Structure 1
Amino acid sequence: MEPVSEMPDSRAATNALLAGLREDNLAPDAVVRFLGHAARRSLLQAVRRPRALAELTALHGAMYALAAGRRPGRRWVAASWVLAVLHLGLLERSTRLATADILTLMRANLPALPGGSGRASGVLAIGLDLADGRLARHQGTTSPFGEYADTFADAAYWVWLTLRHEPSRAVRMAAVASWALPVVSVTGLALRRGAMPERPRPVLLRPAAALQAVVALRHLIRR
């Protein structure tokens, strides 16, 4: 069997790791091995894409500079860079970031950037979300990396905006639940089956999109 670290297909590699984890019944030592193999493959895949790694570093370096004087903001950007580097293997055959990927990563880092908590920031996030999806489809640059980054950007930005700026407890609970439920469900299914399930269709994500609009509008008109 081909070593997981050498598998070019990220989904196949993830499924191989999950299958081994399931066979060992999620034992602690199996979890450690899973994390070790996953980290090793992630680093190897990042090194094999020097152009994408350089682009990713330049983008986050610029955002890090914009977050000057805001320590939490700089930590946010640093965490975003680490997560993105560890998932560069999801670019599959591509060796560079697409424009849509850059827009997605900028959306994920809005909380760290100047104006990221402004009244129009929620509307801006929705605009960037629509733009990166359309651009990726138009340019034919859709990839597992873009899908991962999009999910991360939504979870990171909207949970932050809701918990920090939404005063209604009911809206906060409904919003966070709608964004957390798909992630928890997919993770649970993956561990149970020993393979990644198909990404939920848009119909399953409409409640989350609707709550994003609600939170953005309430943030925009709030005094």
Structure 2
Amino acid sequence: MTSWMMTVSHLGLLEKHDDLGLPNLITLFRANLPALENRLGRAGALLALGTDLLDGKLARATHAETTFGKQADFLADTAFWTWYTVRHETSRRARALTLAAWAAPVAGITVASFLQGRLVEIPRSRWLRPSAAVEILIGARVIVRLFRSVR
């Protein structure tokens, strides 16, 4: 549902592109990973990490970067990691960091967009990326747990 709503409401951000393209499809797939939990289990988090790296590299390599992709990437991360930490994370601190890194900014951007009557771009700093730091932290915790369960 998140992926569908995001796609429909943001298609104008594809700019000069005629279709979504593979990088954006990978991003939208990531937003839908929670629906595959029964088939993927906790390995879905590893797939989320991998697709997050892949979509951006592919977009840059094929010169397929779009405003849609930048927005969709952040929203897909928000959808997946917020769901994942609420569902699987045992640490209250990790859950709070996730909400602060993703859910709060999305809520703020949504409110600002409605108030201004137009889509407000998500501000991105080249050097300060709290959501990326939290994604790495949660992802590392997932990897450690998977290795411990294999032993």
TM over 0.5: yes
**Residues matched between the structures, number:** 145
RMSD: 2.4
**Any idea what the Cα deviations from partners look like across 1:126-179, whole Å, max 9, x if unmatched?**
221111111111111111221222122111000011000000111111121111
Mapped to 2, the partners of 1:190 and 1:85 lie a distance apart of 16
Q: 1:87-126 residue pairs with structure 2 within 5 A? A: 87-113=10-36, 115-118=39-42, 120-126=43-49
* 5+ residue gaps, structure 1: 1-77
Label 1:116 to 1:147 Cα distance change in 2 as closer, same or farther (>3 A).
Answer: farther
Q: Is the 8 A contact 1:101 1:146 kept in 2?
A: yes
User: Percent of aligned pairs with the same residue?
Assistant: 43
Q: Which residue of 1 aligns with 2:139?
A: 216
In terms of Rg, which structure is larger? 1
Label 1:167 to 1:202 Cα distance change in 2 as closer, same or farther (>3 A).
Answer: same
Shift of 1:101: 0.7
Q: What is the SS of the residue equivalent to 1:147?
A: helix
Label 1:80 to 1:187 Cα distance change in 2 as closer, same or farther (>3 A).
Answer: closer
My pick for the range that moved more, 192-201 or 123-132, is 192-201
Letter in 2 for 1:213: I
Shift of 1:116: 3.7
Q: 1:49-198 residue pairs with structure 2 within 5 A? A: 78-113=1-36, 115-118=39-42, 120-190=43-113, 197-198=120-121
Shift of 1:182: 2.5
Q: Is the 8 A contact 1:100 1:133 kept in 2?
A: yes
Give the TM-score, by structure 1 length: 0.56
